Amino acid sequence: MYSSASSSRRPSSVRRETLIEFKLVDAENGQNSSPATTHRRFGPSSGWKKYAVGGSLVLFILFLLSKNSPGFILGDHTPPPPPHHVHPQHTFDLPNQDVADPLIDVTKDESIKFTGPINEAEAALPASHDYIHADQSFPSFSEDASSNSDLPTSFEDDPNPAGTTGCQSPHPDATAKGRPLVQYVVMIDAGSTGSRVHAYKFNNCYSTPQLEYETFKATKPGHGLSSFADDPLGAAKSLDPLLKEAVRVIPKELHAQTPVAVKATAGLRILDSKIGPNASKEILDAVRNRLTTRYPFNVSDRPGDVAVMDGSDEGVYAWITINYLLERIGSDVDNTKVPTVAVMDLGGASTQIVFEPMSRHTDATPLADGDHKYTLTYGGKQHVLYQHSYLGYGLMQARRSVHNLIAYLYEFGNVLVPSWDEWNEDIKVPNPCMPHGTSKHVTLDPPHKSPVNVTMVGSSNGWDACNRVIELVMAKDAVCEVQPCSFNGVYQPSLMETFDGPLLAMSYFYDRLSPLGINDKTSSFARGEIQKLASHACKGEANWKKYWRGNQEALDVLYDKPEMCLDLTFMNGLLGLGYELGPQRPIGTGKKIDGVELGWTLGASIAVLDASSL
């Protein structure tokens, strides 16, 4: 994980600064406004059929040009030939899925690393000219929370949870704001695949709160609030184990002054689009009522404290978390010499990117106005960020979109199979994003029909065939109204031209890469390493045993998750085709910084704590 030059457990300039304001710049008049909903061109209501039919015609032409290539457009159904080149659509709704969340396992204290190729026995990737080699150094790393501090690092080793070893009395500035010596914040992350609680302990030895440690607990995978679409009370009750953990670790005498917030992410945003605009409101009303009537914490009247969080806030809060812990924001930080870290967060239903375009690149195009522009002031310094949340491009949603399109094209090209809304698990659909010899039961969503379950089987086409699917999912050729664009027609300043600081890929990025060798046991990875891993994952069992010989964890994951080929290929497409990162561009990934879970929750807690004292 990252560790800063001075320990995050010690007083720092960052800890002593005040988070003064969060504001969006209005696209039309340049005035400050309340956070606006991020503009998204992707959604369940898009016209996916035109892409699918167009793709089918392309596939038919390719079939005629290369009859020796494996394909299923005109293939016989018994046994079904493997798909060769399919046109994915990316507009199907995402039903609730029982999938593992990348942040559930906290039994190990993983780290963040920046390295070169992880397999030095292989030839180095070709030189890339699209990476700006700036005079900078990546953050240093440590395995655990810093040992250079006298502060406790967990509830278990805290000799006095109601007090602190940092000082005897609060700082005068904290006293003036009515802050006690010690404060806690309870932040519940209601994600698409499950809910998690983060109970943060802060001391007020300095003018702003100093983080000591967090306590973390998660629900079982698949038990997110959105899985209780027809049972708001059940959704509220699902948070009980998390809230009871917070009650356990926070001293009773501090309960009443401890703010609690529940912020739902993409899962509930999608629920509204599927069921109706009041679906998430009914669930959140039940959650607020249960918090107020059953638990001793301070539930504010601010509507944003129990709400569906806008995707722009989610990404920006994660950016604050990471740069706060790395001490890369604050009044004493010279960001012309110590650039902030860009954050790429891959969730289940959406993915976010947040970075601060660098003003020293004078030849770069200025950041255009719009909902993507997020201005915040921290420690007396203004940071103008680019942020975007791509709803529909989270890992689980991407899987679902690929599976649906493959199924549609299989039906389109095979007159002997019934309509796919009549399929069952006896139907075996060849999938170019699964290795040969693997199979998996998946749920599909025929348009305007009930979901159906089928069996998808791996083809022998390898990574190239899967990559063609992913390239179409990325919609790189979509109309770009304001240039430059990343993918799906979304405006984004070029990372190559405007940003040469460190890049951090988190959440599902880490979850998928860690068991395959990009973790605390190795030193680094370049973006091209993901493509290399994807290529080997798509080749199947014989290649797994050769390439990951001696890495039983990797082999176990590959056998357990036949969709690893798809996941890695999508991640490579997102970073390479979508964000246009060259194969040599160094990227960090991790789960914790100095023992603190990465994500948006700490950044949001800092804002809640600051607001609660005003």
Helices (H) and strands (E) in the chain, counts: 16, 20
Lowest mean pLDDT of 48-52, 80-84, 287-291, 499-503, name the range. Answer: 80-84
Mean pLDDT comparison of 240-244, 382-386, 404-408, 494-498, highest-scoring range: 240-244
State yes or no: pLDDT of 503 exceeds 60: yes
- Superfamily name with CATH number, domain 145-310+603-612: ATPase, nucleotide binding domain (3.30.420.40)
pLDDT per residue as tens digits for the range 107-166:
333 333 333 333 323 333 333 323 223 333 455 433 444 444 689 999 999 999 999 999
Among residues of the chain, what percentage have pLDDT more than 90? 39
Residues acting as catalytic residues? 314
Dihedral-angle region of residue 348 (phi above 0 means left; psi in -120 to 50 means alpha; beta otherwise): alpha
| pLDDT value for 389 | 87
Q: How far is CA 501 from CA 95, 134, 491, 564, 583, in A?
A: 37, 8, 20, 29, 16
pLDDT band at 559 (very low <50, low <70, confident <90, very high): very high
Could you say which DSSP state residue 516 is in? G
| pLDDT value for 282 | 94
Element (H or E) spanning 245, and its range?
helix 240-249
pLDDT per residue as tens digits for the range 450-500:
889 999 999 877 899 999 989 888 877 776 666 677 777 787 778 878 888
| pLDDT value for 524 | 61
State yes or no: pLDDT of 603 exceeds 50: yes
- Mean local confidence (pLDDT), 320-326: 90
385, β-bridge pairs: 374
Could you say which DSSP state residue 97 is in? -
Which segments are annotated as binding site? 348-352
| pLDDT value for 365 | 64
pLDDT per residue as tens digits for the range 54-77:
454 444 333 333 333 333 222 233
Domain ranges of the chain: 145-310+603-612
In sequence order, the 6+-apart residues with CB closer than 8 A to the CB of 21 are: 376, 377
| pLDDT value for 36 | 35
State yes or no: pLDDT of 87 exceeds 90: no
Lowest mean pLDDT of 73-82, 197-206, 322-331, name the range. Answer: 73-82
pLDDT band at 513 (very low <50, low <70, confident <90, very high): very high
Closest by Cα among 551, 493, 555, 175 to 358:
493
Which segments are annotated as binding site for ATP? 348-352
pTM given for the model: 0.70
Token pair 């561009």 is found at: 585
| pLDDT value for 563 | 94
Mean pLDDT comparison of 88-97, 236-245, 345-354, 581-590, highest-scoring range: 236-245
Closest by Cα among 606, 611, 613 to 15:
606
